[in-house]
Amino acid sequence: MNDLNLENHNNKNIPLLEVKNLVQHFKGRRESLVDFVPPIVKAVRGVSFKLKPLDTLGLVGESGCGKSTVALSVLRIHKPTSGEVFLDGMNIGLLKKNELRILRKRIQMVLQDPLSSLSPRKTIRESVIEPLKVHKIGTKIDQDNLVKKLFNQVGLDENLGNNFPHQLSGGQNQRVLIARALTLNPDLLILDEAVSALDVSVQAQILNLLKDLQREFGLAYLFISHDLAVVKQICNRIAVMYLGEIVEENNTSEIFENPQHPYTKSLISAVPKIDFSEGNNNNHIVLVGDVPGPYDIFEGCPFMRRCTIGKDRDICLREKPKLSLSPDHKGYVSCHFAGEEIPVI
């Protein structure tokens, strides 16, 4: 461990990961030659959250809401426009390049499509062992032994080590990615749509594996998904994103049993139900209007255009709600009329 304490350690008095008012803007493409200044895409607009050791926080929302951008900003793949990211109380933005390289061992990422994440020219053993070689960890014998151990821990036959990704199933390749992420003994795994490309039965297997590995390795997960049914199975907290902002955050049980934001309610109403006894599967909330475009500038509530509660209310038109304690004091919500019932069909 060096002087900056960049290696694995957890101070129980502070969060493992803390994101404070993260903002991420990108320059868009000019629409014509007369547009001298390219428009700005506000991908993330002031996101804040905390993640404790052994926690699993689900970051959910529609495609394009900024979930993956948050992950890449946490990893400093994108340098944030503003805001701060702390790991064990250390401000990642203040670290030098070599210090950041050491710190990144503690945060690993598993992406959606294993075939695009694994080199087709490398065997899966070579792919798993690669992080150890990059960081010059252990001897060749040590590396081989660790890979065999990880294969066993993620449920892979070590005899598959000489196979190439195209020779394995989707579920097997996802296990390879998880094994590779664990080689550096991280504290945090960022799982970006990590099971969305898999069949439902294989999804269940991978989710159960992740739960087992979390207990075995003492991991925290930032689980990014658009699928609330999947998030419900693995996350103990959920943060709902809309247009680059968190509009509601709470314990998973509270999110599903007593959602406060109309957008959260619409997402939950779209989750397929098994119990048809009281017609629960038909209580679908319909969102009106269109999602604002990436260059749109608007005042008031970002959700106003699609909300059946606030579209005609003056405060929603002129004043943007802040993420604050919900009326039931159990979570956080960004809505002037949090908890109010909305029409269903």
pLDDT tens-place string over residues 181-198: 999 999 999 999 998 888
pTM of the entire structure? 0.90
Asked if the model's pLDDT at residue 241 lies above 90, the reply is yes
pLDDT band of residue 45 (cuts 50, 70, 90) is very high
Asked if the model's pLDDT at residue 220 lies above 90, the reply is yes
pLDDT digits (tens, 9 = 90+) for 256-308: 999 999 999 999 988 877 555 544 445 677 777 777 776 777 788 989 888 88
Asked if the model's pLDDT at residue 78 lies above 70, the reply is yes
Say what the pLDDT of residue 116 is.
Answer: 84
State the maximum Cα–Cα separation within the chain, in Å, rounded to a whole number: 69
Report the distance separating Cα 139 and Cα 123, nearest Å. 19
Say what the pLDDT of residue 6 is.
Answer: 62
Say what the pLDDT of residue 98 is.
Answer: 86
Q: Report how far Cα 7 is from the mean position of its chain's Cα atoms.
A: 23
SS3 303: coil
What is the DSSP pairing of strand 107-110 with strand 332-333? unpaired
Residue with tokens 């159960």: 208
15, amino acid identity: P
pLDDT digits (tens, 9 = 90+) for 319-335: 999 999 998 888 999 99
